[in-house]
Structure 1
């Protein structure tokens, strides 16, 4: 996994090392950003260049670049689970939002 400017790139599993080319793409976006290279260093350099090119292209067109994640999660829960989570959050002196964020952070 590659990371640069909050974007994440993955080398495609179907890349064929026998041909000497490793292809990848940026994940978590609606827009398609790809990159490739013959070594890890080339792949990483191509990934960063692709992100920079994408951001420059968006700026040139006056468009907002697609961001990987907004930080907002619409969440629907069973009311009983919602109540239990809210009680746990309150008992820990946290907002429900912060309690959920802490639980997610601890899981990963």
Structure 2
């Protein structure tokens, strides 16, 4: 039990996986409160993450899907949708901490 309290007890990857998992649980928990368009964006993103976990899509594709979903969601006027965007950003940072910043696609 003592090893769990050491700062080096978990690797960066393990901590990232745990953080991403918690964000995914938050998304699932709040899904019924999201607008239909945000539910669709979250569903597509979670499916892409699952495909990434099975080595079916690249990390670049997964990061791009996360970025597109976040951009789509932050345009929403519903504050519940914004919570979903925060969870998606958390997943992006946890799984892909070294990914370049998202491209500005507002143009």
TM-score (norm 1): 0.30
Write 1 or 2 for the structure with the bigger share of strand. 1
Q: Identify the structure with bigger relative contact order (alpha carbons < 8 Å, sequence gap 6+).
A: 2
Write 1 or 2 for the structure with the bigger share of helix. 2
TM-score (norm 2): 0.30
Rg larger in structure? 1
